Amino acid sequence: MYKTFAEVKLALKEGATVESIVQHYLTEIENRKSLNAFLEVFTEDVLAQAKEVDAKIKAGTAGKLAGMVVGLKDNICYKDHKVSASSRILEGFESIYSATVVQRLLDEDAVIIGRLNCDEFAMGSSNETSYYGPVRNAINEEYVPGGSSGGSASALAAGLCTVTLGSDTGGSIRQPAAFTGTVGLKPTYGRVSRFGLIAYASSFDQIGPFTNNVEDAALVMNVISGEDEYDSTSSSKPVEDYTNISFEGKKKFAVIKDAIQMDGLDPEIRAAFNAQVEALKAEGHVVEEVSFPYLDVMVPTYYVITTAEASSNLSRFDGVHFGYRSEDAKGVEATYKQSRTEGFGAEVKRRIMSGTFVLSNEYYDSYYTKAQKVRRVIQDKTNEILANYDFIILPTTASTAFKLNSVTDQIQMYLQDIFTVQANLAGNPAISVPAGTHSNGLPFGIQIMADHYKEKELLACAEHLMKK
Amino acid sequence: MRENYEAVIGLEVHAQMLTKTKAYSNDVNEYGAMPNTNISAITLGHPGTLPVMNKKTIEYAIKLGLALNCNIAEDQYFARKNYFYPDLPKGYQITQDKTPICTGGSVKIKTKDGVEKEIGITRIHMEEDAGKSIHDVDMYDTLVDLNRAGTPLLEIVTEPDLRSSDEAYAYLQEVRKLLRYLEICDGNMEEGSMRCDANISVMKKGSKVFGTKVEVKNMNSMRNVQRAIEFEINRQIEALENGEELFQETRSFDALNNSTISMRSKEAANDYRYFPEPDLQPIRVTEDQINGVKAEMPALPNDLFEKYTKEYKLSEYDASNLIEAKPIALFYNEVTAHTKNYKAAANWIMGDVKSFLNQRGLEMKDFPISAEQIAKLIGIIDEGKVSSTVASQSIFPAMLEAPEKDPLAIAQELNLIQESDEDSIKNYISQVIAQHPSEVERYRNGEKQLTGFFMGQLMRLSKGKADPKAANKLMREMLEQ
């Protein structure tokens, strides 16, 4: 078992080859097929790549991530490989280019082992909307792994890769990380290039890592972060060395009162969280409750704006230029309608329709414009809190993972994001680290949020909390 | 009937910008390449791709804005216009919607009847072109060429200030001229690099309320814009006279039948669901940037017109003729840098130079003789060394063959230097008088118009080398004796 990159490096030092490490993961993937975490394993490719990296190691020319075996969420493009966003509409589609993050990983000699199941177009919180079937939670296969990056979370938790990449639009990295007992980081909006990430909601999406420790998250972030000429929303701010972290001095933590008092919060999670707070106080840190009376509007605001953007982002999947085309459609209009009807799943259609509605002439101001205004208020208020505190801490989720097919009410499903959407609405970095195991045997997490581009401080704090 | 109505016309011009690369990608922007060759994953709208602004397009927009005295917006925002069409790979077009880069400003026009007028500009904004659907190549299928997709466009929208098809034509000529002077767009309507939609309505003369407007599309030449407007004005007046109600619609010009056909009504129009483009950060235009563009602005046709008429004292006709095309005007500027005979320079260019180019189907840039040589030619005429006729008929053609040769050297080689010494001219005159006694008789009896005949004879004898001015004077003197 190689749970971390440090273990991989140790093995390499003791004479193992990257190829043998890849072989190990391939065997594990085979053993855990029932998880349905992988949509495709790039067996031949990854072995060939591993041999190349072995040669480089011998020659002393290997990159920083030599030996790291990475799985990609199936919405991240990798040249000459299939990518489908777990949707029928991209059935058989192969990307003709690599996402910037993939290229940067490859340049540092990480190897890419396969693509990981997720909710269709990253729309979902349980990984049950995938056209290719649900992913099961590696901790207990009767349960969902969370979503939308469920495959990335479960594969990592099961030890099928060293690191996986996911994407987070409203909590899609942090919630599954909490459900699987892994570390999940959503970087600041603009810190990591989105070029090559199949867009769900462009002003929210960020790619981030799933890892088994903070150090690996830092290593990956060192490589994938930074300005990208192909993404004009990527920041030109220099990238700090995220591995060089220390958690020193007394910090100020804000706890959002409204969240911690919420009725639906699982008592065990609340108790564990409160214990964490007490421990921090005992160390001399300041932990204070702050008011943030927007909890009930955050999820609706998030859905208005994300569905609006999604309705436009998903227009390109029309059956004309690439991907699935309905075979019996006659004419252009029918090709659009039938291809999209047959190619998209129910949840994706629901969001395209919501988004089209909120952008329509008659309803634009009452929904889209209003939601933008609320988003601004949430951003301002979040900034205001983080001007006075180093971190905002919260449970990552209100409950542990739920059983497959147990949540049928969409609104209930949407509320999965209640603690996580704030970071996406405001663009802040946030991380979920394991915070304990529930009496039901399932893990849960604690979420730390920091000011924009304070990934280094965030990772330092995460490491500190994980050590305890 | 028509005289009871007034037409109200507004034009939307789409100008493809002559940037090296496309609006939001590094794909090559060129006309006439093999179909579907300038297409990367970005132009194809493949999943995961993002637009990156080509900053050159902002510079071009500022240039045009400055030339038309527009206000330039400080921050550039972008929006998505959503609609499905097979030649629109992303399913939306990136445009500027509510926040155009230029607002206000105007274009001065002059119709062929000499009417001068200022046409207000509502807005100019940046957007990207769609690909091209080709319906007439394959028998069964529509073919799509995405080379054009992502080509940067400027959309120039006028106020409803135009009142006739002539004014519309003059406006388009003026805009095209400006675009060409600024080297923003080649203005080729046939190739589609410049396109025009017209909004047309009619109202009773003196009315303050505009009639119901109709948008006409698909006019691929300036003449067709004029024809479409003419047809539409007549159609609308006729309908109103027949008591029919007009409704807001989009019509397509049918060049074959010289008419317009209804495409869709307003009710059937798309809801484009414009919203801010989240993939592009707003871009700030600084004062420095605007000043930078200003400093590099080329001379504009109106400035040159002023200079030619005021400073060079050319007629308005000559001046308009010279500024019509930028390369001609630039050549004229070069010639006048070497000679002060502005009128002669204008005559040479509009006469011999242009007709040579026209005959050969060449463009100004292909003209073999340098501006300096043309100025020298004008110089030797002014010095009386050769006559204009000789210059035009013998020296100019020789210069075309040997562009590096000095015109004076050519004249000497061909023995064309004018003879202006009195003795030799008198000698020719004596011969003419001796050979034509009856004509001399008639002249002396009052038929003064025979001077031309005698001069012709003299030129024949001197092989054109006699200085006509001196010869004319001496001829009269000797005939009167």
CATH of the domain at A196: 3.90.1300.10
Phi, psi of B276 (to 5 degrees): -60, 135
Contacts of B120 (CB under 8 A, 6+ apart): B104, B105, B106, B158, B159, B161
Residue-wise pLDDT tens digits, A143-152 = 999 999 999 9
The answer, for A406 touching chain B at a CB cutoff of 8 Å, is: no
Three-state secondary structure of A388-447: HCCEEEEECCCCCCCECCCCCCHHHHHHHHCCCHHHHHHCCCEEEEEEEECCCCCEEEEE
Rounded to two decimals, the pTM is 0.90
Residue reference for tokens 């629901």: A350
Domain containing A110 equals: 5-224
| pLDDT reading at B311 higher than 70 | yes
Contact yes or no for B278 and A233 at CB 8 A: yes
- What is the mean predicted confidence (pLDDT) over A423-452? 98
B221 CA: distance to closest CA in chain A (Å):
29
Residue-wise pLDDT tens digits, A99-142 = 999 999 999 999 999 999 999 999 999 999 999 999 999 999 99
Contact yes or no for B47 and A83 at CB 8 A: yes
Dihedral class, residue A67 (left if φ above 0, else alpha if ψ from -120 to 50, else beta): left
The answer, for A363 touching chain B at a CB cutoff of 8 Å, is: no
A 329-358 residues with CB < 8 A to B = 332, 336, 356
Chain B positions touching A314 (Cβ under 8 A) are 91
Q: What is the pLDDT of residue B237?
A: 96
| pLDDT reading at A318 higher than 90 | yes
Q: What is the pLDDT of residue B461?
A: 83
Chain A positions touching B90 (Cβ under 8 A) are 315-316
Q: What is the pLDDT of residue A268?
A: 97
Q: What is the pLDDT of residue B294?
A: 95
Q: What is the pLDDT of residue B455?
A: 87
The CA radius of gyration of chain B, in Å to the nearest whole number, is 30
| pLDDT reading at B418 higher than 80 | no
Q: What is the pLDDT of residue B459?
A: 85
Whether A82 is a known active-site residue: answer no
Minimum-distance CB partner of B275 among A314, A315, A368? A368
Exactly one of A98, A172, A225, A235 is catalytic; which is it? A172
Model confidence band, residue B470 (pLDDT cutoffs 50, 70, 90): confident
DSSP secondary structure, B115-153, as one string: -EEEEEEEEEEEEE---EEE-SSSSS--EEE-TTTT-EE
Residue-wise pLDDT tens digits, B347-356 = 999 999 999 9
Element (H, E) at A135: none
Whether A148 is a known active-site residue: answer yes
Q: What is the pLDDT of residue B267?
A: 66
Contact yes or no for A359 and B53 at CB 8 A: no
| pLDDT reading at A414 higher than 90 | no
Report chain B's mean pLDDT, rounded to a whole number. 92
Signed CA dihedral, A240, A246, A249, A250: sign only: positive
CATH 1.10.10.410 corresponds to the domain B422-479: yes
A75 CA: distance to closest CA in chain B (Å):
8
Please state, for a pLDDT cut of 90, what percent of chain B lies above it.
73
Q: Name which of A123, A170, A134, A120 is nearest A406 in CA terms.
A: A134
| pLDDT reading at A436 higher than 90 | yes
In a domain, A297, yes or no: no
Looking at chain B, which residues constitute the CATH 1.10.10.410 domain(s)? 422-479
B92 CA: distance to closest CA in chain A (Å):
7
Contact yes or no for B84 and A77 at CB 8 A: no
Residue-wise pLDDT tens digits, B253-289 = 998 899 999 988 766 678 999 999 999 999 999 999 9
Instruction: Give the whole-angstrom CA distance, residue B232 versus residue B214.
Output: 9
Model confidence band, residue A416 (pLDDT cutoffs 50, 70, 90): confident
Model confidence band, residue B478 (pLDDT cutoffs 50, 70, 90): confident
In a domain, A373, yes or no: no
Contact yes or no for A232 and B281 at CB 8 A: yes
What ipTM was reported for this prediction? 0.96
Q: What is the pLDDT of residue A361?
A: 94
Residue-wise pLDDT tens digits, A248-274 = 999 999 999 999 999 889 999 999 999
Best of A94, A115, A198, A230 to disrupt the B interface by mutation (most B CBs within 10 Å)?
Answer: A230
| pLDDT reading at B440 higher than 90 | no
Residue-wise pLDDT tens digits, A334-369 = 999 999 999 999 999 999 999 999 999 999 999 999
Q: Is B431 exposed, middle or buried (0-12, 13-18, 19+ CB in 10 A)?
A: middle
| A408 vs B294, higher pLDDT | B294
Element (H, E) at B15: strand B5-16
Instruction: Give the whole-angstrom CA distance, residue B175 versus residue B169.
Output: 10
What is the crossing angle of helices B451-461 and B437-444, to 10°?
A: 150
In a domain, A233, yes or no: no
Contact yes or no for A196 and B48 at CB 8 A: yes
- What is the mean predicted confidence (pLDDT) over B397-401? 93
Contact yes or no for A198 and B47 at CB 8 A: yes
| pLDDT reading at A231 higher than 80 | yes
Best of A236, A313, A315, A332 to disrupt the B interface by mutation (most B CBs within 10 Å)?
Answer: A315
Side-chain-side CA neighbours of B284 within 13 Å: the count stands at: 3
Instruction: Give the whole-angstrom CA distance, residue B404 versus residue A460.
Output: 77
Whether A58 is a known active-site residue: answer no
Exactly one of A148, A149, A152, A311 is catalytic; which is it? A148
